[in-house]
């Protein structure tokens, strides 16, 4: 079994199916976070020309909400803002702090890039006012309370994370496992393997071990890329292990049912909706949640999401993990019985 696992691991990078399983979850994450999320967001870039060693500059350099840098002169600042290398630029004249504390209104020049985003301009303007008031020694004249009527909504990129995680499990655990199994049947290498002391059940374990290991690894990578590693590590690893086992078992069922890769692709296209269906209830949380319970893949997905994304503990999801493990155990005799009927295709 370990020999087959090592063989699959060594030859796997040559397979477009394995590369598809590894690359696609990462690309989907980058696309979703880039379009809807904050993966590529950055603080507004602000340059400051300080002609008098102002406390405003020192305070701005310490702020996390701004990416502040010093600029040598006004001409350079204007060029950087014009070229959109900076979102905004401040010019603080000599004696600015003293004039501000004396109650005067010293000139403050703010350059704004024409291509800068509106929210970046708002952040720069509000932050600058706060810095000036702190140097002046006055508190803000108003207090703003931000209220979201009806509660905070869940951003779309957060609701799509379960779909991406399920895709990572499906692509690696189901598709890689089933394709590897079916490929052995098409090439008739399964005949040679079963002529050795290797049994069919051991062959299934070997194929499931490779796909399950890859599924667990890619799910962990996907969760990390989406910032969904906030729960207990032990509970998360246990949930990933059960999810990977179930995904690999589904892949073995596909492989047993498909005598060749053409049939396998048809099965994947036809049955994918049943595998991915539970993820729709995270995208549309207003749907009745109990309907998702009828899909077996819900019990591998929900514990991972609750622990990794919502910070739940093992005590909160243990019963879901028990159901997922029970489904896996129920598939064992089914796989063993169906596997006895597997025969390599006869060459024409």
In 3-state terms, what secondary structure has residue 30? Answer: helix
Indicate whether 40 pLDDT > 70. no
Confidence of residue 41 (pLDDT cuts 50, 70, 90): low
Tens digit of each residue's pLDDT (9 = 90 or more) over 133-177 = 887 776 544 454 544 444 445 667 778 889 899 999 988 899 999
Indicate whether 85 pLDDT > 80. yes
- For residue 301, what pLDDT is reported? 92
- The arithmetic mean of pLDDT across residues 254-279, rounded, is 88
- For residue 345, what pLDDT is reported? 46
d(CA 202, CA 183): 17
Confidence of residue 37 (pLDDT cuts 50, 70, 90): low
Note the pTM of the prediction, 2 decimals. Answer: 0.68
- For residue 238, what pLDDT is reported? 93
d(CA 302, CA 242): 12
Tens digit of each residue's pLDDT (9 = 90 or more) over 302-330 = 999 999 888 888 889 999 999 999 999 99
Write out the E strands in 39-132.
Answer: 45-50, 67-70, 88-92, 109-112
Q: For the chain, what is the mean pLDDT?
A: 84
Lowest mean pLDDT among 37-51, 144-158, 269-283: 144-158
- For residue 252, what pLDDT is reported? 93
Indicate whether 295 pLDDT > 50. yes
Write out the E strands in 28-129.
Answer: 45-50, 67-70, 88-92, 109-112
Domains defined for the chain, CATH in brackets: 2-35+155-339 (no CATH), 45-136 (3.40.1710.10)
């Amino acid at each position: 079994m370990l020999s087959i696992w090592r063989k699959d691991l060594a030859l796997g990078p040559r397979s477009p199916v394995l590369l598809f399983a590894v690359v696609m979850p990462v690309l989907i994450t980058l696309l979703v976070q880039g379009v809807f999320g904050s993966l590529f967001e950055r603080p507004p870039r602000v340059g400051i020309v300080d002609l008098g060693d102002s406390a405003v500059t020192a305070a701005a350099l310490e702020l996390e909400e701004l990416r502040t840098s010093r600029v040598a002169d006004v001409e350079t600042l204007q060029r950087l803002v014009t070229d959109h290398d900076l979102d905004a630029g401040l010019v603080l004249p000599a004696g600015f702090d003293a004039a501000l504390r004396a109650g005067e209104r010293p000139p403050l020049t703010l350059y704004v890039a024409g291509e800068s985003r509106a929210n970046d301009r708002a952040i720069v303007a509000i932050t600058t006012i706060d810095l000036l008031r702190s140097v002046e020694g006055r508190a803000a004249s108003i207090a703003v309370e931000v209220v979201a009527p009806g509660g905070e909504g869940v951003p779309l990129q957060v609701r799509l994370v379960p779909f991406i995680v399920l895709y990572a499990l499906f692509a690696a655990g189901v598709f890689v496992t089933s394709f590897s199994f079916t490929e052995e049947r098409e090439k008739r290498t399964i005949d040679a393997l079963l002529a050795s002391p290797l049994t069919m059940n051991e062959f299934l374990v070997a194929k499931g071990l490779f796909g399950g290991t890859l599924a667990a690894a890619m799910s962990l990578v996907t969760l990390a890329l989406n910032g969904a590693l906030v729960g207990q590590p032990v509970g998360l690893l246990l949930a990933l292990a059960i999810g990977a086992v179930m995904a690999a078992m589904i892949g073995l069922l596909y492989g047993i049912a498909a005598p060749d890769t053409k049939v396998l692709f048809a099965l994947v296209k036809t049955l994918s909706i049943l595998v991915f269906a539970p993820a729709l209830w995270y995208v549309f949380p207003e749907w009745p949640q109990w309907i998702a319970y009828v899909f077996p893949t819900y019990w591998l997905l929900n514990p991972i999401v609750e622990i990794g994304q919502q910070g739940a503990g093992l005590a909160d999801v243990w019963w879901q993990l028990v159901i997922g493990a029970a489904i896996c155990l129920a598939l064992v005799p089914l796989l063993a019985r169906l596997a006895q009927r597997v025969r390599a295709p006869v060459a024409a």
